[in-house]
Amino acid sequence: MQLDRALDAYLRHVTIERGLSAHTISAYRRDLGGYLAWLEEGGITDSGEISQAVVGRFIAERSSAVPAPAATSLARLQSSVRGWHRFLAREGIEQDDPTGRLRPPKAPRRLPKALTIDQVERLLSAPSGEDPLGIRDRALLELLYATGARVSEAVGLDVDDLAPGDVLRLRGKGSKERIVPIGSYARAAVDSYLTRVRPGLAAKGRASAKLFLGARGAPLSRQSAWLVIRAAAEHAQITAEISPHTLRHSFATHLLQGGADVRVVQELLGHASVATTQIYTHVSVEALRDIYATSHPRAV
């Protein structure tokens, strides 16, 4: 099959049948677009012409690129290429899967960065005052920390996702839904935003069911939400590394430090496997070691 047609067929499959997010689809399209461009530069225009040696050559070139790619980026690229070829073989479009022996690089295990409770409180207090966007930003930050939601999940919320009884419906990866408690502080901040700010923002744009709106009434984007987090960190004079997942990491770490069961945290985060959640237990163990070393009379 022609390369562009084979790619379109795969992207339709992961969009419709697997229900992957638009962000994930965009990453697949970017990775595989680069792969197909490389193939075409080498004179390959049909997916049936791709051999194991060709795939190996592509990965080798990408691995030795200057500057060297991050192990996580290379692993994602290999995963995209492998998924495409497996799809073509499974659907009978091609007879063989040339990536059968391809092994992903081992990504270094990095512990997620979490803020201290004091840093989180400063971050949440950063949007001060009674201006509309400050009230909205405070509601967004409180909700992210209270629920452990991904930024994409928070901006994807509809007003109707706020259920009675201080719970929230989140839509995670693969459109999977989960119900999480929201907490009194976050609920109060969100209610204040809903009654005092959102109607005015909604009047500026087209009708939208989204919970968080921008200054012109359009749904708040993931990038705009990230800018809110970064601006709050700067205002709170937090010098620790901040990422879009910072409040999510802090949520999980603080729950475990407070005695929450790892299975409960897994459910709240929406992780498919408890192994993904268990990385946060290592963060807690490090904190326990520090406390032990400074508190026990015979620790050192």
- Cis bond upstream, residue 199 (ω within 30): no
Q: Are 149 and 170 in contact, with CB atoms under 8 Å apart?
A: yes
Active site residue 296: no
Active site residue 176: no
Residue with tokens 């990504």: 107
Active site residue 280: yes
Contacting residues for 215 by C-beta, under 8 A, at least 6 apart: 133, 201, 204
Among 136, 187, 248, 254, the active-site one is 248
Among 150, 198, 249, 254, the active-site one is 150
Active site residue 193: no
Among 62, 198, 254, 271, the active-site one is 271
Active site residue 248: yes
Among 62, 82, 136, 245, the active-site one is 245
Active site residue 245: yes
Q: Which residues pair with 219 in a beta bridge?
A: 213
187: nearest Cα among 164, 216, 170: 164
14 CB neighbour count, 10 Å cutoff: 17
Among 113, 173, 210, 222, the active-site one is 173
Tally of CA atoms within 13 A in the half-sphere of 222 that contains its CB: 11
Q: Which residues are catalytic?
A: 150, 173, 245, 248, 271, 280
